[in-house]
């Protein structure tokens, strides 16, 4: 089934102008055109549009969305799972902020005492700072003042809370995928696909993760108890398993 621009706009709730813009920048081009010259969107185009709107909801800009969706390894199902986790996190944060607003109203109208901590529930950036510290320590521990460390510091210094939420959700999703397939062994194709995604995730989010660096990270994850504990929280023994899978991945790169 095919849909004209106005039909898509009405169905989705976006403007015709927006759809024209997506077409012009190559983000979402209609699959075909009618003999009369009307742009025609397919069901597959609608799936792509849904994905674009999810990314926008998570504060990606249009160029970032275009780059991500054009990658050969882009997996819509995995992207949706990551979106779901992050959207749940955003919902929970909004709920905390709403509760803070309600408590503030009660405090004003009812004279109910409110602690300073309660005033700022939902705005806490401490978890984000922990993530920044974690990745800074990881690269500095392994590579000192190298280019990888400098690149990591440069990238992470620009990240906002929404960026860290997205990055954390992606990392969690990959760790969970690997943990869920541990019984298949480190050489399993699904495990290796997740390991490849893990390396790309590091490159995209922190620094250019060369095979040499990636192999070294595997050693770090079992030799440093801090990293072992952080990874093993997903599943006991995951750090050691991940190291084996990373070594096998590096050994078999073409």
SS3 (DSSP) at 206: coil
Q: Which of 4, 70, 65 is nearest to 32 (CA)?
A: 4
Same domain, 81 and 63: no
Co-location of 79 and 33 in the same domain: no
In 3-state terms the chain splits into helix, strand, coil percentages (rounded to 5) of 70, 5, 25
Contacts of 150 (CB under 8 A, 6+ apart): none
Q: Of the residues 70, 93, 109, which one is the last residue of a structural domain? A: 70
| Residues in contact with 28: Cβ distance below 8 Å, sequence separation at least 6, in sequence order | 19, 22, 45, 48, 49, 52
Radius of gyration over alpha carbons of the chain, in Å? 22
Which structural domain, as residue segments, surrounds residue 101?
75-124
CA 46 to the chain's CA centroid: 22
Per the structure, how many domains does the chain have?
3
Domain with residue 50: its CATH number is 1.10.1660.10
Predicted confidence at residue 118, as pLDDT, reads 56
Q: Are 133 and 246 in the same domain?
A: yes
Same domain (yes/no): 110, 46: no
Looking at the structure, tell me whether residues 130 and 247 fall in a common domain: yes
Residue matched to tokens 């800009």: 61
* 42 & 93 share domain: no
Domain co-membership, 64 together with 100: no
Whichever domain contains 203, its CATH number is: 1.10.490.50
106 shares its domain with 202: no
pLDDT of residue 240: 94
User: Do 146 and 243 share a domain, yes or no?
Assistant: yes
* Secondary structure letter of residue 183 according to DSSP: G
Is residue 199 within 8 Å of 228, Cβ to Cβ?
A: no
Looking at residue 144, its pLDDT comes to 45
Query: Tens-digit pLDDT profile for the chain (254 aa)?
Result: 888 999 999 998 889 999 999 999 999 999 888 888 888 999 999 999 998 988 887 777 888 888 888 876 677 787 788 778 777 777 777 777 777 777 777 777 766 665 555 555 554 545 545 555 554 555 455 444 456 667 777 787 788 777 887 888 888 899 999 999 999 999 999 999 999 999 999 999 888 888 888 888 888 888 878 788 888 888 999 999 999 999 999 999 86
Contact between 66 and 84 under an 8 Å Cβ cutoff? The reply is: no
Surface-to-core class of residue 91, CB atoms within 10 Å of its CB (0-12 exposed, 13-18 middle, 19+ buried): exposed
Same domain, 140 and 24: no
In this structure, the answer to whether residues 115 and 169 fall within a common structural domain is no
**Which of 90, 124, 158 is a domain's end point?**
124
94 with 153, same domain: the answer is: no
């Amino acid at each position: 089934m095919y849909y004209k621009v106005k039909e898509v706009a009405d169905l989705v709730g976006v403007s015709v102008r927006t759809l024209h813009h997506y077409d012009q920048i190559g983000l979402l081009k209609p699959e075909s055109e009618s003999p009369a010259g009307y742009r025609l969107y397919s069901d597959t185009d609608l799936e792509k549009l849904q994905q674009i709107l999810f990314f926008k909801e998570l504060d990606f800009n249009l160029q970032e969305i275009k780059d991500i969706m054009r990658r050969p390894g882009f997996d819509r199902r995995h992207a949706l799972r990551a979106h779901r986790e992050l959207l749940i996190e955003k919902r929970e944060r909004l709920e905390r902020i709403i509760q803070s607003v309600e408590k503030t109203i009660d405090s004003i109208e009812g004279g109910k005492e409110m602690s300073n901590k309660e005033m700022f529930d939902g705005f806490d950036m401490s978890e984000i700072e922990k993530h920044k510290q974690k990745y800074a320590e990881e690269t500095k521990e392994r590579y000192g003042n190298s280019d990888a460390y400098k690149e990591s510091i440069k990238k992470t210094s620009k990240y906002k809370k929404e960026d860290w939420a997205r990055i954390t959700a992606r990392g969690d999703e990959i760790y969970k995928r690997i943990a869920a397939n541990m019984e298949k062994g480190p050489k399993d194709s699904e495990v290796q696909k997740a390991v490849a995604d893990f390396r790309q995730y590091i490159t995209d989010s922190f620094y250019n993760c060369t095979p040499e660096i990636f192999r070294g990270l595997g050693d770090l994850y079992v030799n440093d108890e801090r990293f072992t504990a952080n990874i093993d929280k997903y599943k006991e023994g995951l750090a050691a398993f991940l190291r084996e899978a990373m070594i096998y991945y590096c050994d078999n790169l073409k």
